[in-house]
A and B are shown apart, each in its own frame.
Chain A
Amino acid sequence: MQRKTSAISAMVATAAVAGLALTAPAQAADLVDYKVVDDWTIPESLTGQPGDPVNGKVVAIDRKLGNCLSCHKMPIPEEQFHGETGPSLWGVGNRYEPEHLRLRIVDSKVINPETMMPAFYRVEGLHMVKDGFEDQPILTAQQVEDVVAYLMTLTEEEPQTN
């Protein structure tokens, strides 16, 4: 599936490849182009930049950004209250490659249309979005890459509790 490239997104993508950081919250037109393969992976980095796992962890925890802990248990003992509506993400770096995780985060619904997990990098097809959040993805392209890099560090399996 090839997303439509607008002139602006191509420019932004080029800017990102050139190493310019996108600091402002992403606007609709900012969505970089990406290619989904077999409804299962996005092989190429969205930004051409390596993800920063340290920032990825911050993004995953932040309730206004990834807020992954609302639904997932993660190896982050310093944070209280991990959700349980999604599977545990302990050891997820052993189970997947970055290209799988990238699609999960960009748009889980490509893999499972019924899923509860939000698409973190998609703006079309949404309904009744609150003022100020329309046409904005939840995460920027670089934040997606950072979260992917962080998830790849999660290789420890969950200790058995009993």
Chain B
Amino acid sequence: MNTTFKAMAAAIALGLPALALTTGPAFADEMAEGKWGEYQVGDKRSGYTYAGPETRAMQDDEFQNPAMLWLDTGMSEWENAAGDAGKACADCHGDAEESMAGVATKYPVYSEETGKMMNLEQRINFCRTENMQAEPYKWESDELLGMTAYVKNQSKGMPVDVSIDGPAKEFWEKGKEFYETRRGQLDLACTHCHVDNAGNLIRAETLSQGQGNGFPLYRLKWQKVGSLHRRFRGCNNNIRAEKLPYGSDEYTNLELYVTWRGNGLPIETPAVRK
């Protein structure tokens, strides 16, 4: 895949001249950055850089990446007419490779129609209900995961670029507050694990920065593709905190904050994680 090739090329490009300079902190920094290529931007590191080599290899190889099955579902749904309007996504949006390129880098966005934030799943379902007069896809259905992954995959390699200006600002603040608030019987905030301890082991798991750029992604533990909100529910549940509903305002605001933290990281969908 194109992205892998670029990452490797970047590593080689930085690695070779660095071999000549064998000492000094500048060398170490350069290697540290060069090592992860586009998966690291400044201090921001994709979950990819904390994953084991087998997991990374599975993500990199289009034929091994199990999430490709869901992309296929998304691709065929794109052409499928549904609902009372008798339309398919393709009827209005044409070739997804063109019309959807770069779209996912902006999500969640503020929606004038609803007066709140809308993530990509919600935007897709908005088209289902408003433009197709069709039933919304169910959360965590193969169709919604597949379509979201398919649309987001059209931005693969492009930097995440969500805006928190204007009306989005107040929702970003709510998301930030959620992120920093202790919760659950174990009384932990997201920050304790994903800011203070990124890179450290928590039992058998290496904590990452908890970035959202690879979602929806295939998780080996789930044996399927899952959404970012599913991951939020898991992280809440593990500390014996209440899980909130998929697509809840709280999680969509949290998604805005989490995604904004990763501005600049490339979209990786569909990623693979343990």
Contact = CB atoms under 8 A, between A and B. Distances in A.
Nearest to B237: A130
Interface in B182-196: 182-188, 192-193, 196
Interface of B is mostly: loop
B200 A126 contact: no
Nearest to B183: A128
A71 interface: yes
A67 B203 CA distance: 9
B242 A116 contact: no
A118 B192 CA distance: 11
A116 B237 contact: no
Given A129-B240, A133-B240, A81 B184 contact: no
A118 B204 contact: no
Interface in B164-200: 181-188, 192-193, 196-197, 200
Contact of A129 (B185, B200, B203): B185
Nearest to B189: A116
B203 A116 contact: no
B241 interface: yes
Given A83-B203, A116-B196, A128 B242 contact: yes
B26 interface: no
Nearest to B181: A127
A81 B204 CA distance: 5
Nearest to A132: B240
A118 to B, nearest CB: 5
Contact of A84 (B181, B186, B200): B200
Given A85-B197, A130-B241, A80 B187 contact: no
A84 B187 contact: no
Interface residues of B, number: 24
A133 B183 contact: no
Interface in A124-152: 126-131, 133, 136, 138
A78 to B, nearest CB: 15
B201 interface: yes
Given A81-B201, A84-B201, A85-B200, A128 B184 contact: yes
A70 interface: yes
Contacts of B200: 83-85
B243 interface: yes
A74 B93 CA distance: 58
A80 B188 CA distance: 24
A45 to B, nearest CB: 24
Contacts of B241: 127-130
A130 B243 CA distance: 7
Contacts of B20: none
Given A116-B196, A128-B184, A129-B185, A83 B240 contact: no
Interface of A: 67, 69-71, 80-85, 116, 118-119, 126-131, 133, 136, 138
Interface of B: 181-188, 192-193, 196-197, 200-204, 207, 236-237, 240-243
11 contacts: A70-B203, A83-B201, A85-B193, A126-B185, A127-B182, A127-B187, A128-B236, A129-B240, A129-B241, A129-B242, A130-B240
